[in-house]
């Protein structure tokens, strides 16, 4: 990874012929986090924790100064760049160690019901507090143990949770909507659907049920799409049937695949059997692991200057599972380019409706690209007919894929960009992921409203 970053910087120097580059910006995210860590109450920290944080903050200050010096040099020496980037990686590792200690300390405070330590740890809005599991545990403890006392950072998290619930329908429809309450089919019915189902349609993922030779029920799932999906089978009101499988059952199905997923065994051969069942599915998988070392490109033409109207944890709709998304206001018809290599697995550009009302949600045009690690790149609100690719196309980073628009639930023309997988807790909802993005200004890890970037 270090060699790749060095090559990127050297390539920028050669391609753009600039006298200097803002190397100092690479350490800015670390500096913001260091400022927050300095605000932690030192009385709640152990001696070793204090030393780790002090070393990290000191290192960030020194590295930031080094970056500013390098930015002023017309031609920094390669060995100086290598040392600088090595220091950045070391600081990132130290930051992760600190956050792991923080998560452990917060968990201990909750388990031991140490309200004082809990308040000290959560009074500063650190990044781990936004992680779904940590956030849920912290909110539950806060609401139970602080009925009359307010902690500002946790009030913010509670508001996030409320907004997430209110905007759940928006998330489902804007990001690989979950198709639910689908009827289990007979195999004869599936044969007919198989001939007419379109990619991405509700019935492009099917479950059939047939009576087995022993009198039980066998369920078989089939995915008619080119991409992987997560399928959840709900079985209830079982009579004279049993299974050793935990229900509801959630599984991943790869593209164009079919397999037996569940068998209900008959208990008494002399009695009749009965059950009620339904299923749902969502594009993607909860089991994939995002390559956090990958550096994405801005989805725009080289040299394009863009602004962020809503970044990570944005005030409008980027909350909860959809927190890690970016909105870029753009003129209608702006060319959109792939931020990463992949295969096109979703395209919808037939709509020509958009507006600031929930009634427009179903009309968002989009392109979805599956990456080699199984995550999905989502490009939303495209113009009618605004695609340069089709399902099944292999695309490379920097390739033209679409044109921006103003379709769906939107107040103005813009591009909504995110990278997602299926939420491993619900198994039914998409979950956006934080990513690194290469820009002329540096590698961006926490885009915010008002930020300006230049595409490389």
Residue 171 lies in a domain: no
Is 25 contained in some domain?
yes
Most confident of 119-133, 212-226, 393-407: 393-407
Based on the domain organization, do 9 and 133 belong to the same domain? yes
Question: What's residue 43's pLDDT?
Answer: 62
Residue 169: the pLDDT is 46
- The dihedral over CA atoms of 32, 304, 8, 33, expressed in degrees to the nearest 10, equals 10
Domain edge (last residue) among 261, 283, 305? 283
- Asked whether residue 31 falls in the same domain as residue 129, the answer is yes
Provide the pLDDT for residue 21.
Answer: 52
pLDDT confidence of 306, banded at 50, 70, 90? very high
Report yes or no on 173 lying in a domain. Answer: no
Residue 168 confidence (pLDDT) above 60: no
Which of 15-19, 80-84, 289-293 is the most confident on average?
289-293
173: pLDDT strictly greater than 50: no
Measured in degrees and rounded to the nearest 5, phi and psi for residue 339 equal -85, -10
Q: Which of 78-92, 229-243, 409-423 has the lowest mean pLDDT?
A: 78-92
pLDDT value, residue 19: 46
Instruction: For residues 183 and 140, give the distance between their C-alpha atoms in angstroms, rounded to a whole number.
Output: 36
Do 35 and 147 share a structural domain? yes
At residue 165, the pLDDT reads: 56
Give domain status of residue 112, yes or no: yes
Considering the domain boundaries, does residue 116 fall inside one?
yes
Q: Write down which residue in 262, 283, 304 finishes a domain.
A: 283
Percent of the chain exceeding pLDDT 70 equals 88
pLDDT band at 314 (very low <50, low <70, confident <90, very high): confident
Q: How large is the average pLDDT for residues 161-166?
A: 59
The reply to whether 290 falls in a domain is no
Rounded to whole angstroms, the Cα distance separating 30 from 88 reads 9
What does the pLDDT read at residue 60?
85
Do 187 and 278 belong together in one domain? yes
pLDDT tens-digit series, residues 259-279: 999 999 999 999 999 988 889
Q: What is the mean pLDDT of residues 110-136?
A: 86
pLDDT reported for residue 110: 93
**Residue finishing a domain among 230, 260, 283:** 283
Q: What percent of the chain has pLDDT over 90?
A: 45
Residues 208 and 244 in one domain: yes
CATH number of the domain to which 385 belongs: 2.70.70.10
445, pLDDT greater than 60: yes
CATH number at residue 265: 2.60.40
Q: pLDDT tens digits, residue range 343-395?
A: 999 999 999 988 887 778 788 999 999 999 999 999 999 999 999 999 999 99
Judgement on whether residues 140 and 7 belong to the same structural domain of the protein: yes
pLDDT band at 164 (very low <50, low <70, confident <90, very high): low
Are 161 and 273 found together in one domain? no
Residue 166 confidence (pLDDT) above 70: no
Structure confidence at residue 82 (pLDDT)? 83
**Structural domain boundaries, residue 152:** 2-166
How far apart CA 28 and CA 11 sit, in angstroms, is: 22
Choose among 333, 309, 284, 326: nearest CA to 418.
326
CA dist 120 and 22 (Å) reads: 36
For the chain, give the mean pLDDT: 85
Residue 172 lies in a domain: no
Is 288 a member of any domain?
Answer: no
Q: Are residues 412 and 303 in the same domain?
A: yes
Secondary structure of the chain as H, E, C letters: CHHHHHHHHHHHHHHHCCCCCCHHHHHHHHHHHHHHHHCCCHHHCCHHHHHHHHHHHHHHHHHHHHHHHHHHCCCCCHHHHHHHHHHHHHHHHHHHHHHHHHHHHHHHHHHCCCHHHHHHHHCCCCHHHHCHHHHHHHHHHHHHHCCCCCCHHHHHHHHHHHHHHHCHHHHHHHCCCCEEEECCECHHHHHHHHHHCCCCCHHHEEEEEEECCCCCEEEEEEECCCCCEEEEEEEEEEECEECCCCCCEEEEECCCEEEEEEEEEECCCCCCCEEEEEEEEEECCCCCCCCCCCEEECCCCCCCEEECCECCCCCCCCCHHHCCEEEEECCCCCEEECCCCEEEEEEECCCCCEECCHHHHHHCCEEEEECCCCCEEEEECEEEEEECCCCCCEECCCCEEEEEECCEECCCCEEEEEEEEECCCCCCCEEECCCEEEECCEEECCCCCCCEEECC
| 301 in the same domain as 274 | no
Does residue 341 have a pLDDT over 90? yes
The phi, psi pair for 111, rounded to 5°, reads -65, -35
Tally the domains of the chain.
3
Is residue 260 domain-shared with residue 389, that is, in the same domain? Answer: no
The reported pLDDT for the residue numbered 70 is 80
Same domain, 144 and 48: yes
Average pLDDT over residues 431-456: 94
What is the structure's pLDDT at 6?
40
55-59, 72-76, 100-104, 320-324: the lowest-pLDDT one: 72-76
pLDDT at 10: 41
pLDDT for 16 beyond 60? no
300 and 422 together in one domain: yes
CA distances from 14 to 71, 75, 313, 326 (A): 15, 11, 36, 29
Burial (Cβ within 10 Å: 0-12, 13-18, ≥19) of residue 125: middle
pLDDT digits (tens, 9 = 90+) for 177-222: 556 668 888 888 888 888 888 887 888 999 999 998 889 999 999 9
Q: 248: cis peptide before it, omega within 30°?
A: yes
């Amino acid at each position: 990874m270090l060699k790749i970053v060095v090559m990127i910087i050297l390539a920028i120097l050669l391609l753009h012929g600039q006298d200097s580059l803002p190397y100092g910006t690479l350490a800015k995210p670390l500096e913001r986090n260091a400022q927050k860590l300095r605000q932690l109450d030192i009385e709640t920290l152990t001696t070793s924790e204090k030393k780790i944080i002090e070393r990290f903050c000191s290192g960030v200050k020194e590295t930031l100064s080094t970056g500013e010096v390098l930015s002023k040099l017309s031609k920094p020496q390669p060995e100086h760049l290598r040392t600088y980037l090595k220091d950045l990686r070391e600081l990132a590792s130290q930051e992760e160690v600190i956050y792991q200690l923080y998560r452990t300390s917060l968990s201990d405070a909750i388990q031991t019901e140490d309200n004082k330590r809990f308040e000290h740890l959560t009074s500063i809005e650190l990044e781990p507090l936004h992680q779904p599991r940590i956030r849920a545990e912290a909110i539950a403890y806060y609401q139970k143990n602080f009925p009359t006392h307010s902690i500002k950072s946790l009030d913010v998290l509670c508001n996030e949770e409320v907004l997430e619930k209110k905007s759940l329908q928006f998330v489902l429809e804007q990001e690989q909507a979950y198709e639910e309450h689908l009827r289990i089919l007979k195999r004869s019915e599936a044969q007919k659907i198989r001939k007419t189902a379109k990619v991405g349609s509700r019935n492009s993922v099917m479950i059939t049920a047939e009576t087995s030779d022993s009198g039980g029920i066998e369920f078989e799932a089939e995915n008619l799409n080119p991409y992987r999906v997560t399928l959840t089978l709900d079985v209830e009101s079982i009579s004279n049937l049993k299974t050793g499988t935990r229900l509801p059952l959630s599984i991943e199905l790869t593209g164009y695949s079919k397999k037996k997923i569940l068998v209900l065994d008959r208990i008494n051969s002399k009695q009749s059997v009965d059950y009620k069942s339904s299923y749902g599915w969502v594009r993607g998988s909860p089991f994939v692991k995002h390559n956090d070392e990958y550096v994405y490109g801005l989805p725009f033409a080289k040299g394009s200057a863009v602004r962020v109207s809503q970044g990570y944890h944005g005030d409008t709709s980027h909350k909860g599972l959809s927190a890690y998304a970016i909105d870029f206001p753009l003129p209608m018809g702006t060319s959109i380019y792939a931020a990463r290599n992949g295969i096109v697995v979703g395209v919808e550009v037939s709509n020509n409706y958009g507006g600031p009302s929930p009634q427009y949600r179903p009309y968002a045009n989009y392109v979805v690209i599956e990456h080699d690690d199984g995550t999905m790149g989502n490009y939303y609100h495209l113009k009618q007919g605004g695609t340069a690719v089709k399902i099944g196309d292999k695309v490379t980073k920097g390739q033209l894929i679409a044109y921006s628009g103003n379709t769906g639930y939107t107040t103005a023309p813009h591009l909504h960009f995110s990278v997602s997988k299926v939420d491993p807790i619900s198994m039914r909802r998409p979950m956006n992921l934080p990513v690194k993005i290469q820009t002329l200004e540096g590698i961006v890890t926490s885009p915010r409203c008002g930020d300006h970037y230049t595409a490389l």
